[in-house]
C-alpha cells in the first residue's frame, strides 16, 4: 500500500528532488526564505557527481569578464545571462567563502577551492542546510505524479506519495548514470507536456573510423545482419597498443564546421583505444558532435608544433638527413617523437611521409576524422533537456504550475572551465527563489500565480 505523507504532518511545504549542486542550492534558497524543505534523492548520499568533479580539482567557476563568461553558453546565453547576473562567478566565490571555503584563480583563469577539493565544501554546505532545517530523504527514487498530483517515490520501505504544492526538480543530465543522473525523468516530463530537447553528450570524446573499415566487409555484415552495421571504429592496433592513454601535449586543434562555426585553440588531449578525449577535444566537442549529426563525420586538424612557423618546419624537414632515419631526423631537428610521430605514421601513407612538403604540411595540420561521439554516459555533461521556452522567468514549468526545474536537466550546454557548476548553481538559485515565492503565496492562502 502507498504510504501518503501529507505536507501538513511533515511540513512538506516544498519538495526538492535531486541532491546535486542545483538541488542543494534550490533547497538553500527555500530554507533561507523560511520554507520547510524536504529533499529527496535516489542515491544513498547527495552530491555524488559534485564529489567526482572534485577528484581532478573542483573547477567551481571562471574569473573572465562577465561578457565573455556569458558567451560560453552559446545560443542559451539569452536565457542564462539574467540568472548569471544575479548569481555568477563573483557570487559563487562569495558563497563558498561564507561556507569557509577560500578560492583562488589558476593560471588559466579557472577558479578552484584553495585545497582543490569538493568534499570539504559539500560537508560544510550540508551542515548549513541541516541547520536551516532541510530534511533529507535518501534512496527515494522519483517515479512521476499520481492522479492527484502527488509525487510518487520508490523507497527502501516501499512506494511513497508526497503531496506538495511547490516542487523543484533538479535531476541532472544523463551522464555517469551510476552517480544518480540517468535521464529517466525524460518520459515523466514529456508526459506532462514539458517541451524537451533530446539529451546529447557534451564535453565528450570521439571515435575515429577504423583504418580497415572496408566496403566489402560492411556489405557482408549488412547482408547477414539485415541492417547496416555500426561503422567500425578505432586506431590501428599498432597505434592503439602503443599510444592509448597517452597525451598530445602542447598542440593546437583547428576545426571549421560546415555550419560556419570555427575553432582554433592550443592545449592538450589524449588518445584513447578508439579515438580522442581530453580537455582540448571537449572544448571543440559541441561543434564536432553537431557536424557528425549533420554530415556523418567531422575532420579537425592538429598542429603538432604550434610554436613553429610552417616555413621553419619545412626547412627542418628538408634539412639533409644523411644516413639518419626519418624518425631520428624529426626528433633531432623538431623534437617530434612518441605519440606525435605515431599520429603522423597513422594518418600519412609511406609516400606522403617521405614527401617533405606533405610531411611539413601534416606536422602543422594533420587531419583527424571522427565519426561518432562517445556514449552519453561517458560524457562530462549533457546537452538538451527541458527547453527554456517551456519555463517562466523563475524556471517554473508552464505545463505544471508549482514545479520548477534547475541544473543540468535544463536545455543548455557549456564547455568545461567552471561554467557547468556556475550555471547549475545559478539556475538552482533562480528556481529556489521562485519556488520560495510560490510556497509563500500558497501558505498565505493567496493565488501563487498572481
| 201 forms part of the interface with ligand FAD (CB under 6 A) | no
Kindly determine how many residues on this chain lie close enough to bind ligand FAD according to the rule CB under 6 A.
38
- Which one of residues 15, 16, 19, 339 is an interface residue with ligand FAD (CB under 6 A)? 19
Considering the complex, what minimum distance in angstroms separates the CB of residue 238 from ligand FAD?
Answer: 30
Q: Taking CB under 6 A as the rule, which mask of x and - marks residues 65-84 in contact with ligand FAD?
A: --------------------
| 29 forms part of the interface with ligand FAD (CB under 6 A) | no
- Which one of residues 5, 14, 283, 420 is an interface residue with ligand FAD (CB under 6 A)? 420
| 50 forms part of the interface with ligand FAD (CB under 6 A) | yes
Sign of CA dihedral 267, 271, 277, 278: negative
CB atoms under 10 Å from CB of 326, counted, come to: 15
Footprint of ligand FAD on 83-142 (CB under 6 A):
141-142
Footprint of ligand FAD on 348-387 (CB under 6 A):
380-381
Considering the complex, what minimum distance in angstroms separates the CB of residue 433 from ligand FAD?
Answer: 16
Indicate the residue among 151 and 284 with the shorter CB distance to ligand FAD.
151
Name the segment binding ligand FAD (CB under 6 A); options: 101-109, 193-201, 246-254, 414-422: 414-422
| 404 forms part of the interface with ligand FAD (CB under 6 A) | no
- Which one of residues 7, 113, 150, 180 is an interface residue with ligand FAD (CB under 6 A)? 180
**What is the chain's length?**
450
- Which one of residues 15, 35, 53, 366 is an interface residue with ligand FAD (CB under 6 A)? 53
- Which one of residues 36, 99, 177, 184 is an interface residue with ligand FAD (CB under 6 A)? 184
Give contact residues for ligand FAD (rule: CB under 6 A).
17-23, 40-43, 46, 48-50, 52-53, 58-59, 141-142, 170-172, 175-176, 180-181, 184-185, 380-381, 407-408, 418, 420-421, 424
Amino acid at each position: 500500500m502507498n504510504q501518503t505523507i501529507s505536507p501538513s504532518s511533515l511540513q512538506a511545504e516544498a519538495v526538492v528532488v535531486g541532491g546535486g549542486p542545483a538541488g542543494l542550492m534550490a533547497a538553500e534558497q527555500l530554507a533561507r526564505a523560511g520554507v520547510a524543505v524536504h529533499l529527496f534523492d535516489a542515491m544513498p548520499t547527495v552530491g555524488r557527481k559534485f564529489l567526482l568533479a572534485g577528484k581532478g580539482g573542483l573547477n567551481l567557476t571562471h574569473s573572465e569578464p562577465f561578457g565573455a563568461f556569458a558567451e560560453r553558453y552559446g545560443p542559451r546565453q539569452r536565457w542564462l545571462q539574467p540568472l548569471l547576473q544575479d548569481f555568477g562567478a563573483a557570487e559563487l566565490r562569495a558563497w563558498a567563502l561564507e561556507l569557509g571555503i577560500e578560492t583562488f584563480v589558476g593560471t588559466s583563469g579557472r577558479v578552484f577551492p584553495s585545497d582543490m577539493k569538493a568534499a570539504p565544501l559539500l560537508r560544510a554546505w550540508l551542515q548549513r542546510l541541516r541547520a536551516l532545517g532541510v530534511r533529507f530523504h535518501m534512496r527515494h527514487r522519483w517515479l512521476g505524479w499520481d492522479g492527484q498530483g502527488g509525487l510518487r517515490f520508490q523507497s527502501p520501505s516501499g512506494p511513497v506519495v508526497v503531496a506538495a504544492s511547490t516542487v523543484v526538480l533538479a535531476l541532472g543530465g544523463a551522464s555517469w548514470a551510476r552517480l544518480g543522473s540517468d535521464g529517466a525523468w525524460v518520459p515523466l516530463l514529456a508526459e506532462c507536456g514539458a517541451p524537451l530537447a533530446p539529451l546529447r553528450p557534451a564535453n565528450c570524446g570521439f571515435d575515429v573510423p577504423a583504418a580497415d573499415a572496408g566496403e566489402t566487409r560492411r556489405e557482408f555484415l549488412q547482408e547477414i545482419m539485415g541492417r547496416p552495421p555500426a561503422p567500425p571504429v578505432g586506431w590501428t592496433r599498432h597505434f592503439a597498443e602503443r599510444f592509448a592513454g597517452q597525451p598530445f601535449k602542447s598542440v593546437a586543434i583547428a576545426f571549421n564546421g560546415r555550419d560556419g562555426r570555427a575553432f582554433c585553440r592550443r592545449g592538450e588531449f589524449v588518445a584513447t583505444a578508439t579515438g580522442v578525449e581530453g580537455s582540448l577535444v571537449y572544448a571543440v566537442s559541441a561543434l564536432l558532435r553537431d557536424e557528425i549529426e549533420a554530415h556523418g563525420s567531422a575532420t579537425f586538424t592538429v598542429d603538432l608544433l604550434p610554436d613553429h612557423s610552417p616555413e621553419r618546419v619545412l626547412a627542418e624537414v628538408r634539412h639533409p638527413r644523411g644516413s639518419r632515419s626519418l624518425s631520428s631526423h624529426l626528433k633531432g631537428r623538431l623534437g617530434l617523437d612518441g605519440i606525435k610521430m605515431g599520429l603522423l605514421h597513422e594518418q600519412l601513407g609511406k609516400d606522403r611521409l617521405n614527401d617533405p612538403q606533405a610531411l611539413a604540411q601534416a606536422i602543422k595540420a594533420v587531419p583527424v576524422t571522427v565519426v561518432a561521439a562517445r556514449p552519453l554516459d561517458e560524457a562530462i555533461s549533457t546537452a538538451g533537456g527541458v527547453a527554456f521556452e517551456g519555463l517562466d522567468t523563475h524556471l517554473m514549468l508552464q505545463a505544471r504550475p508549482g514545479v520548477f526545474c534547475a541544473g543540468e536537466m535544463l536545455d543548455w550546454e557549456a564547455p568545461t572551465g567552471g561554467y557547468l557548476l556556475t550555471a547549475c548553481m545559478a539556475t538552482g538559485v533562480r528556481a529556489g527563489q521562485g519556488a520560495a515565492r510560490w510556497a509563500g503565496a500558497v501558505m498565505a492562502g493567496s493565488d501563487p500565480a498572481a
